[in-house]
Amino acid sequence: MNKRQKIVLAIYSCLVFIQILYPPFIAMNKGRVYESGYSLLWSPVSYNSLVGVIDVNRLLMTLLATSLICIAVVAIFKDK
């Protein structure tokens, strides 16, 4: 693993940490889902007095997209 690949992995690690620390939230009421936006993990967003829960689907999709981009960039920077 060369220096550029290590830098990409360090940036990837920081991005994943931030995405987990600052996840998307949703609020649900009687079958309806309201997007509440992003907030720090320990202080969930509220929407019209509804407490927000982490939108796991959106969080997993962003983590997957970040991982795929990282894999592609690491592959591009491989030694020849």
The pLDDT of residue 46 is 78
Q: Which two tokens mark 42? A: 């320990």
Domain count along the chain: 1
Q: Which residue has the higher pLDDT, 12 or 79?
A: 12
List the domain range (segments joined by +) for residue 18: 3-76
Which pLDDT value is given to residue 29?
Answer: 85
| Tens digit of each residue's pLDDT (9 = 90 or more) over 1-31 | 899 999 999 999 999 999 999 999 998 888 8
pTM: 0.86
- Res 24: pLDDT: 94
**Closest of 45, 61, 63 to residue 53, by C-alpha:** 45
Are the CB atoms for 80 and 4 separated by under 8 Å?
no
